[in-house]
Amino acid sequence: MEQRLSMTTLVVDDVTAIRHFFETGLGWQVNAAPSPDIAFYQVPGAVFAVYARAALEKETGITATKAPTGAVTLAWNGRTEDEVDSAYEQALSAGARPIKPPEKVFWGGYSSYVEIPGGHLLEIAFNPYWAVTETGAIILPNPQ
């Protein structure tokens, strides 16, 4: 298997609320929503999806458990600390719950956390060791 992921999917109880957060609050554009239970967003190099918990349970036949953080932490990296501050405020304005305001962190970056609709954590950070391209892709340093 190639070292890559094609899609990341958040399982949520309310697809309408999470779509409103991303589309109206953050200005993202949905690429496809074939049913009220799922929506797909193109992100650099992959697809991000939101999927209704009940629909996933029907598809897989197993219970999609809920953890306090939604069992997934997403991250959005800005190119500067100012971009982090701006994105953090935009997320709060869109309905996210503040968890940790932007601040310098032990690993040398600048990081914050919010809880988005559905209970998932979103880290909004600047990592001075990673480059973020014009298209939003992250370039990691070469392995040691």
pTM for the full predicted model: 0.84
> Which tops the pLDDT comparison, 81 or 141?
81
**Token pair belonging to 107:** 């690993």
**In this structure, are residues 138 and 132 in contact, taking their beta carbons and an 8 Å threshold?**
yes
DSSP string, the chain: --S--SEEEEEES-HHHHHIIIIIIS----SEEEETTEEEEEETTEEEEEEEHHHHHHHHSS-----TTTT-EEEEEESSHHHHHHHHHHHHHTTPEEEEEEEE-TTSSEEEEEEPTTS-EEEEEE-TTSEE-TTS-EEPPPP-
CATH class of 7-139: alpha beta
pLDDT in tens, 61-99: 888 776 655 556 789 999 999 999 999 999 999 999 999
Tell me the per-residue pLDDT of 19-60, one tens digit each, with 9 for 90 and over. 999 999 999 999 999 999 999 999 998 899 999 989 988 888
The average confidence (pLDDT) of the chain is 90
* 20 class by beta-carbon count within 10 Å (0-12 exposed, 13-18 middle, 19+ buried): middle
Percent of the chain surpassing pLDDT 90: 62
